[in-house]
Amino acid sequence: MSRIKETFSKLALLKKKALITFITANDPAPKYTLKLMNTLVKYGANIIEIGIPFSDPMAEGKTIQKSHKRSLKFKTNLKNILKNIYNFRKFNKITPIILMGYANSIEKLGINNFIYQAKISDIDGIIIVDYPPEECKKFTKKMKNKKIDQIFLISPTTNKKRIEKISKINSGFIYYVSLKGVTGSKNIEINNLQKKINIIKNYTKLPINIGFGINSLKIIEKIKNIADGIIIGSKIIKKIKKSSKENIFNDIKKLIKNIRYTLDK
C-alpha cells in the first residue's frame, strides 16, 4: 500500500480529515526547509506538498509567486529539492511527500533522470500544473511503473466527461481547485463546492481534497466535512514571510495546531 493510500485509510478509521500543507522549497532560505517539514508534521500535517519554484508560476497567486522568487534567489533546483527530501526520509518514512510544480522544471532535468532521482529520494506523488492528461501519457505510465502517484487538478469548470477521464488515470487523491482563480483567492462558494464534490464522487473512489482559497479557520470550519481533506498553502507562506527568523518555527507551530484543532473538533 502506498503511503498516500495508507495515510487516508488510517484517517478514515480515526474519522479525521487530512491536512495537506504546502511550502515552497528553500523559502525563506534553504536552511529552513527541512526543519519546516518536520514542524508541519509534528503539529498536525498528514501530507506535505513541496513547491518547485518556477519563474512563471501561472496557477499561483501573489503570495506564492513571491515565495518562488525568494527561493530562486538561492538557485533552487530539483536536484537540491530532492536532496532535502532524501534527508527528510532519513528520519521520517511515514509522511507522504508530494512535489508540485511545472513541466519546464521536470523537462529541464530530463524526465528519466527526474523519475530516477525522485525514486531515490522516495517521494510519493507529483502534481504538474501544466501537464494535461492528453500530453503526458508516457510520463504518467513511467510514474505508475515506479509507484509514484500522479495527481491532476479538477476545477469548477471541469465538465463531467473530463472528470471521468482524469479520474481514470489519476492516482493518490483528487485535488479539487475550489474556485475559478489562482491560489490564495477569496471567493469560495460553499453550495457550488458541495455540488461539484458530489459529482466527482460519481467517478472515483479516491479521496478528494480541497485546495485554493482556504485562507481562514472560518472557511475550514465550513468546508471540512465536504471532502476528505484540505490543502493549505498561501496561509502558511504568508506566515513564513511575516515571521522573524527567531519566531518562524513557533509561529508555524501555532498556525498548524489551530488548523488541526479546527479540522478535528
Torsional sign, CA 97, 213, 177, 182: negative
99, β-bridge pairs? 50, 126
Q: Is 60 among the catalytic positions? A: yes
Name the active-site residue from 60, 135, 221, 246: 60
Name the active-site residue from 6, 49, 134, 189: 49
- Which string of DSSP letters, residue by residue, matches the chain? --HHHHHHHHHHHHT--EEEEEEETTSS-HHHHHHHHHHHHHTT-SEEEEE---S--TT--HHHHHHHHHHHTTT--HHHHHHHHHHHHTT-SSS-EEEEE-HHHHHHH-HHHHHHHHHHHT--EEEETT--GGG-HHHHHHHHHTT-EE--EE-TT--HHHHHHHHHH--S-EEEE-SSS-TT-----HHHHHHHHHHHHTT--S-EEEESS--SHHHHHHHTTTSSEEEE-HHHHHHHHHS-TTTHHHHHHHHHHHHHHHHH-
Distance of CA 189 to the CA centre of its chain: 21
Sole residue written with cell 502558511 = 236
Q: Is 189 among the catalytic positions? A: no
Give catalytic residue positions: 49, 60
